[in-house]
Chains A and B, each alone.
Chain A
Amino acid sequence: MDSRLQPQARSLHAFASLNSRDLRRLFPVVTVLLAWLILKSMRSQSAASLQNEAFVTGYSLASICVLLMLLGVRKRVLSPQIGRLAIWQQTHHYLGLLSVGVYALHANVITSGWLESALALSFWSIAITGFVSWYVNHTAPKLLRAAGSQILRQDIPVRSRLVAKQAHELALASAGKNDTAALADHYRVHVSSYFTTRRNWIYRISPSGGKRRRLLAGLENIDRYLSAEGRAQRREMSLLVQSRDDLDFQSAIQNRIRLWASAHSWVLGTFLVLTIAHVILAHQFTSSW
């Protein structure tokens, strides 16, 4: 861009250079911002006219929460399918963003009273699990692709057993021969448990390649004790170690997606009950709207 352009002209030029995809992305953000500004001004007006502004923001927040919950209804209703689920999901994300803004207008981050604190806690739990779920959904596909072709979750245990069986047979084939026996010994001591047992909780929460790398390095180290045939078998074993790690990785990532989505909906029940109680109490103990 021409450096002599004024800042305003530069920003205008930047706006003009936005393609339709950028504009499509920008539109909901601007809408959310506008909606928030409108609610903020409504709250100010309400306060100026000596009304209880908490009702404006409170009912706005409750309405948004109802709209947010409609995603779950849409997911369960198949006929008629009102709009594509992807559009509902996108709307859910932006409404979620707006709900955080409206919450900030309605209440402080730290609230007093056990009911309000519990309500705030459940709201933030939903918001945080929702955000994490969104992030996980965005990053998971690339992580899954990095571990080879995507495997159906229900197929993973079967495939894992198959890989373990292949490794065991390979170890058995290498046992009893001087040229290859080192591989069988190494398998028995260091590798067999890797194939036969589940990965630990830490791996399942945050999968890493540490164990795989250690096992592969250990396998490479025994090359000096192997003949050419043994080395070929060792390479095969390394591939099986890699395959098993890929399967575990796929399983961990797919479970992570489900875990966060489930957590997001689990907190919802608590939030609903607390919200209803909060609304009743608010009406009970507040004299005017």
Chain B
Amino acid sequence: MDFQSVFFRPDWKSILRRITETTRNALEFAASFRGNCRPYGISFRLQTAVYHMRTQTSDLVAIDRPLRWDHPLDPEMLTRDLQWMLDQPPFSQMNPDVFPSHSSLEGVLRHDCRILRYEPGDIVIREGDYGGSGYLVLRGSVRAFLEALWQPRGKPSDPNHSSTWTEWLKQRFKPSSIAPATFPESNRREGSRDGSQTAAADKKRPIPLQQVETVDGKSRIFLQDINAIIDGFQSEPLGVGEIFGEMAAITRSQHRYTVVANTPTIVLEIRWQGLRILRRDKTFRDHLDARFRETSLQTHLRETPLLRFLDDASMADVIAQTSIQSVGEREWFSEYRDTQKLDVQTQIAREPLIATEGHAVKDLILIRAGFARLSFEQGRGHQTIAYLGRGHIFGLAELSHRFRNPSDKPLPYQESLRALGFVDILRIPSELVLTQILPKIRNSELPKPIANPRYDAGGLVVSNTLPQSRLGNVQSAEESLANLETSLLEFLVDERLVNGKQTMIIDLDRCTGCDECVKACASTHDGTPRFVRNGPEFGPLLFAHACMHCADPVCMIGCPTGAIARDQDTGVISINSQTCIGCKTCADSCPYSNILMIQVHDEKGRAVVDRRTQLPILQASKCDMCHELKTGPSCQNACPHQALVRIDTSETKALANWLNKRVG
């Protein structure tokens, strides 16, 4: 080997690497001008080229696989505080042996809890906000307001609400203010039959003003003149050892009441993941369940518009005699996946029956949470008439008929009610309804008498006709029920699309497949679209595989870190990429396959792998309604043909309105 060959032999590998590096840098420089431009254009091609070059030329990034407690709820928790908590009831009374070694009681308190301190008047939870934690009073006391402190806004919180650019501009120039909490029901319990008493009472009542103050860099929201508000509104004191807010966390729903600190108070926030583990202790679980039943029953009955004319004595009577019942499994997705493979009639036959057509009406049924199928026997199958959700009442038409015609024989249930997955119901005994409730309701608010019953006391009268009034058997709290084509209703129920609050529907009569929606989504989310333009179809309607931000988000149940969570104000469910450990629980739980697992890349585009196993690190990815954009979901904004909409399919009214508009 001579001198020249050693020192002047071209190192092709090195030259090639240099050329590649230089080109990559040039491309990166060019791509940096991308700004907010959409992908799939020249800039996107540049980015893709950069990505490919990075993955070909760079090494993988090895990290330790993220673990469940990498991100504690309170990273600054002191050991002294932890020890103090362990000495407080109910933790001091718990048996530490019931907790597995990887989820010890101490571990739960250290990682899933945080100590919060409140001054008198501070708002701990607000009615209408979505909750993901339970709160335990450790010191001091709080007040839970059984009445609504604020009147609901015109419309429930809706991420699309300010989607137009004019509204966006208005928001930009308007001075910032705290939005009042929103309420799931538009009707509230009034003080008297005509509402006059309420109006008069309202005049005397103090107006609960929310104020914001920043102390030591932390902002607090509090009510001005808390003592006057406690005097003016019905509230219940909660003292040391009592838990609140757990109902919303367990049912993944909105808080039904506002809680305000009454004295200087210390509250322990326990996030849902910790609460689940703490439930392993039998005493704690029983206490939680009993409290859940008691609170939810009372709150729901007080919020039911039908009962708003009851005086306090009658209401107490109704509360005492009403029973709460949970039908079906809370984690219904696994069973649904199994039954989905069966034929429709078998699926329906497997749905737990809440009430059976032709059977005597023993109770008035109020739906507290979940969804139920309203159907009647048709030939050898069951025809769906509607689906009922929170706030709907079943059996009122029959009881109303009996109330109006006391001499007639009582009519049995005209339709059947079946649980779709999981349903919480309240049962008010019929006699109580007839004696205490119906006499106090305006005639105009009662359903019309059933002229041609499908069933009477003797059994089936007419076998092959639709019930006289399709929705006559249902009283809706929000008049959210609208007639939809039966086959569409059945499709929505069978596919469980009734769970969707932001269902993505693509009108195939307008969609040209231009993929602008997918491109806009990808561009908003670092080049990875968060939905698939594919999914179940009904006629010209395509229900795309995009997160529906469900009314009952079962994906949240099993998340060990709380990475998948619901935004308190908007109800949008999103995944925190900082705390997601890629366990795939949410993706497996989603009954609609709307959560995808994607490989993690670092900021330089290099694939991240587990240091120990060299396997790729995955993270859950799903639609987040582009919550960082002021203008709403970019998919909807980007559709040039008005083919893509996000609709609340949990109530038929919104869908019916859109379908009517669509037909013109």
Q: Does B182 contact A (CB under 8 A)?
A: no
**A144 contacts B164, C-beta separation under 8 Å:** no
Q: In terms of DSSP, what is the predominant structure of the interface of chain A?
A: helix
**A84 contacts B508, C-beta separation under 8 Å:** no
Given the interface contacts A137-B512, A145-B540, does A86 sit within 8 Å of B642 by beta carbon? yes
Q: Complex Cα distance A142/B514, Å?
A: 14
Given the interface contacts A21-B664, A75-B516, A79-B36, does A85 sit within 8 Å of B638 by beta carbon? yes
**B537 contacts A85, C-beta separation under 8 Å:** no
B residues near A142, Cβ cutoff 8 Å: 509
Partner-binding segment picked from B54-62, B208-216, B483-491, B626-634: B626-634
Q: Does B298 contact A (CB under 8 A)?
A: no
CB distance from B515 to the nearest CB of A (A): 7
Interface residue from A78, A80, A152 paired with B513 (Cβ < 8 Å): A152
Interface string of B620-641 (1 = CB under 8 A from A): 0000000001110010111111
**B641 contacts A137, C-beta separation under 8 Å:** yes
A residues near B165, Cβ cutoff 8 Å: 80-83
**B168 contacts A80, C-beta separation under 8 Å:** yes
**A85 contacts B516, C-beta separation under 8 Å:** yes
**B630 contacts A78, C-beta separation under 8 Å:** no
- Which residue on chain B has the smallest CB distance to residue A92? B640
CB distance from B532 to the nearest CB of A (A): 8
CB distance from A25 to the nearest CB of B (A): 9
- Which residue on chain B has the smallest CB distance to residue A88? B640
Q: Does A60 contact B (CB under 8 A)?
A: no
> Considering the complex, which residues of chain B in the window 38-86 have a beta carbon less than 8 Å from any beta carbon of chain A?
38, 41
Chain B: number of interface residues, binned into ranges: 35 or more
Interface residue from B512, B542, B637 paired with A140 (Cβ < 8 Å): B512
Q: In terms of DSSP, what is the predominant structure of the interface of chain B?
A: loop
**B512 contacts A76, C-beta separation under 8 Å:** no
Given the interface contacts A145-B540, A257-B514, does A78 sit within 8 Å of B634 by beta carbon? yes
Given the interface contacts A85-B516, A85-B640, A153-B513, does A80 sit within 8 Å of B630 by beta carbon? yes
Q: Complex Cα distance A261/B512, Å?
A: 12
Given the interface contacts A21-B664, A76-B37, A149-B537, does A144 sit within 8 Å of B516 by beta carbon? no
- Which residue on chain A has the smallest CB distance to residue B663? A21
A residues near B634, Cβ cutoff 8 Å: 78, 81
Q: Complex Cα distance A177/B168, Å?
A: 71
Q: Does A209 contact B (CB under 8 A)?
A: no
**A81 contacts B513, C-beta separation under 8 Å:** no
**A77 contacts B514, C-beta separation under 8 Å:** no
Interface residue from B511, B629, B640 paired with A150 (Cβ < 8 Å): B511
A residues near B168, Cβ cutoff 8 Å: 80
B510, B511, B636, B640 pick with most chain A CB within 10 angstroms: B640
CB distance from A255 to the nearest CB of B (A): 10
> Considering the complex, which residues of chain A in the window 202-260 have a beta carbon less than 8 Å from any beta carbon of chain B?
254, 257-258
B residues near A78, Cβ cutoff 8 Å: 36-38, 520, 523-524, 629, 634
Q: Does B534 contact A (CB under 8 A)?
A: yes
CB distance from A32 to the nearest CB of B (A): 20
B534, B630, B637 pick with most chain A CB within 10 angstroms: B637
Instruction: Provide a sorted-by-A list of 6 A–B residue pairs whose CB atoms are within 8 angstroms.
Output: A75-B638, A82-B165, A84-B639, A140-B513, A144-B511, A152-B534
A residues neighboring B (CB under 8 Å): 19, 21, 75-86, 88-89, 136-137, 140-142, 144-145, 149-150, 152-153, 254, 257-258, 261
B residues neighboring A (CB under 8 Å): 36-38, 41, 164-165, 168, 508-516, 520, 523-524, 533-534, 537, 540, 542, 629-631, 634, 636-643, 664
